[in-house]
């Protein structure tokens, strides 16, 4: 049965809506940038057909040796902690910070080393949030990261002021929850590779639960994220039954999720668009994750090569600025754009389907709260259809379509509700559904 728009009253409690402070307004501006045209990843304009050696431009490696993979990486299991370090938790009063490097897998199941940041508040968890399983609740929060440079990863931006949504994490910390913030784009900043983000998220949760100083081995787990972070969250939920069935995931809250990256690419790349740079950057991320199969290089004109080189190590602000008001026709060789838009290459289709929740066959077992703006530039109808499929498969699904909200405004209205939804799941209350 397709999900209805009606939502039980608790998700509309005005007491949970934060005041419109300057920090909230800053978060709102970031959300505009996070119109995650992650979806425009396809840039379907002929990404295939060149020698693998020229297929990708990789970021400059992080100079911090903490992030470097050891030679014996393959000897670790997914989720095993490779190394750890304490970090100052600036901006999170009373919290203790840790960073972990752990083993995960890329989209081809090759071993990779990925990083996550763990924040642990002082004291014990509130009794209303611990549920019957005991232990401090663990919330894995996937930020909306729209970047290609290693220096833009959450493990950096969480503390240097660049992640303007970071202040919202004081809400779950104030409830006594531990908060896990993975670098879900991976070691090559493969922006747009959403399935990879799901794997890294699940392995980061394994890692923090295995990390003895955190005392989280018995913790129940919740997943939350918006936009690009919602894609990583959604894929983690959909992958979990097969990839990490042992994790006690009690709830998922995801918002503003682009559920089909190919369809959004076609909608947003055929005419000049303010956020074209995000789509182009996401195509570069797919090149990095699928180097033997995806390559824009031979299809680009001089302007396209210039943009590609300029963005190779860029964070969101530069990506948006450099690509603003461009289209497919500005960066691809004559004839390549139209050919790419009609491309039916099975390899490209497979890659797009692997990274789109609409076409990925996995279904979450944990209950899901999905919120989406009725006026979102990312298709609300596709979100309704995905919710309907999850409902039909038996997933408890609570879909909230936020009246009048676009991609920027829906995050503000939905995130407090997401934390409240997770609080109820941690407390063991029955999951609401409007299937």
pLDDT, tens digit, for every residue of 107-164?
Answer: 999 999 999 999 999 875 443 454 445 689 999 999 999 899 999 999 999 999 889 7
Residue 6 has a pLDDT of 35
At the top level of CATH, which class does the domain 9-260+354-426 belong to? alpha beta
Helix (H/G/I), strand (E/B), else coil: 96: strand
Residue 337 has a pLDDT of 58
Cα torsion through 60, 38, 416, 178, rounded to 10: -40
Cα–Cα dist 351/359, whole Å: 11
Give the count of alpha carbons within 13 A of 225, CB side only.
31
Cα–Cα dist 275/256, whole Å: 16
Bridge pairing between strands 368-373 and 249-255: parallel
Residues of the chain with pLDDT below 50 are 1-53, 125-128, 130-132
Find residue 157's DSSP bridge partners.
none
Q: How far is CA 172 from the centre of its chain?
A: 18
Residue 296 has a pLDDT of 87
Name the average pLDDT for the chain: 84
Which residues neighbour 432 within 8 Å (Cβ) at sequence distance 6 or greater? 8, 10, 11, 396, 398
Rg (CA), the chain: 20
């Amino acid at each position: 049965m397709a999900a209805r728009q009606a939502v039980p009253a608790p998700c509309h409690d005005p007491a949970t809506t934060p005041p419109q402070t300057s920090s909230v307004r800053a978060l709102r501006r970031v959300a505009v940038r996070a119109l995650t045209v992650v979806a425009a990843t396809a840039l379907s304009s002929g990404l295939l057909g060149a020698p693998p050696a020229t297929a990708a431009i990789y970021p400059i490696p992080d100079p911090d040796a903490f992030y470097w993979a050891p030679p014996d990486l393959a000897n670790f299991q997914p989720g095993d902690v490779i190394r750890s370090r304490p970090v100052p938790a600036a901006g999170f009063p009373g919290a203790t910070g840790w960073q972990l490097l752990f083993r995960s897998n890329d989209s081809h199941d090759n071993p990779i080393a990925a990083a996550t940041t763990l924040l642990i508040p002082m004291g014990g968890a509130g009794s209303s949030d611990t549920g019957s399983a005991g232990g401090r609740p663990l919330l894995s929060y996937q930020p909306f990261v729209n970047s290609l440079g290693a220096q833009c990863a959450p493990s950096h931006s969480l503390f240097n002021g660049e992640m303007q949504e970071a202040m919202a994490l004081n809400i779950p910390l104030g409830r006594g929850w531990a908060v896990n913030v993975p670098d879900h784009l991976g070691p090559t900043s493969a922006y747009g590779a959403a399935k990879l983000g799901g794997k890294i998220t699940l392995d980061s949760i394994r890692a923090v639960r295995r990390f003895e100083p955190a005392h989280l081995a018995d913790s129940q787990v919740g997943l939350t994220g918006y936009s690009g972070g919602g894609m990583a969250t959604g894929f983690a939920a959909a992958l979990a039954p097969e990839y990490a069935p042992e994790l006690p995931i009690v709830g998922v809250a995801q918002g503003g999720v682009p559920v089909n990256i190919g369809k959004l690419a076609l909608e947003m790349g055929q005419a000049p668009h303010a956020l074209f740079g995000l789509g182009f950057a996401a195509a570069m991320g797919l090149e990095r994750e699928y180097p033997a199969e995806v390559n824009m290089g031979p299809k680009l004109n001089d302007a396209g090569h210039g943009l590609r080189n300029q963005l190779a190590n860029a964070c969101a602000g530069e990506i948006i600025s450099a690509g603003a008001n461009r289209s497919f026709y500005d960066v691809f060789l004559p004839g390549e754009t139209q050919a790419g838009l009609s491309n039916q290459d099975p390899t490209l289709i497979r890659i797009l389907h692997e990274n789109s929740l609409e076409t990925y066959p996995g279904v979450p077992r944990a209950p899901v709260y999905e919120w989406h703006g009725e006026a979102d530039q990312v298709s609300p109808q596709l979100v309704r259809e995905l919710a309907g499929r999850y409902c039909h498969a038996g997933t408890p699904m609570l879909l909230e379509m936020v009246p009048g909200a676009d991609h920027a405004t829906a995050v503000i209205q939905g995130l407090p509700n997401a934390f409240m939804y997770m609080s109820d799941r941690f407390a063991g209350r029955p999951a609401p559904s409007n299937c």
